[in-house]
Amino acid sequence: MKDTVKIVCKYVLSGISLGCTSFVIMCLSFFIGGGEEMLEEICRDFARQSVGAMIVGIACGGTAVIYQFRRPSVMVKVIIHFCVGMGVFYPVALYLGWIPFCPDRVIMTVLQFLFSCIIFTIIWFCFYLFNRNEAKRINQRLRELGQDGAGSKS
């Protein structure tokens, strides 16, 4: 139980870190790209914008802890992670004005949601590839250590 709490805390804190880092990168891109009016809007409401970024970070990065458990299946884990991440991101993004809501332009709102889903999927896939390569590297190193240990016992 104690180890589970440590793992969950680690993922929640890394989620907050991910949210804050993404927020800073977004603000820097506005600054560099000439989006001063968007940056001014963020600065006027900095506390809520920052907390929103942390909440989204926890929802997207923190819920990745589900991959540490044996059950449920990988597909169910992916679905849970996606639904929690998008289920928090989209309402927060609408509330804080990251994504404009157009009630009279439903198609635009749906396209924005689909674009958000695509971005989430790309980010998830990048983390998946990174972790898969890490696992391969670690397994290769364990095989090498196993061969070295077997050879030295002869």
Is 9 or 153 the better-scoring residue by pLDDT?
Answer: 9
Query: Is residue 60 a contact partner of residue 85, using CB atoms and an 8 Å limit?
Result: yes
Note the pLDDT tens digit of each residue in 115-135: 888 988 998 899 889 989 999
pTM of the shown model: 0.75
> What is the C-alpha end-to-end distance of the chain, expressed in Å?
42
Q: 152 or 6: whose pLDDT is higher?
A: 6
DSSP assigned state of 71? -
Q: DSSP 3-state assignment of 102?
A: coil
pLDDT in tens, 13-43: 999 999 999 999 988 988 888 778 878 888 8
Instruction: Render pLDDT for 90-114 as a digit per residue (tens, 0 to 9).
Output: 899 889 988 877 778 888 888 888 9
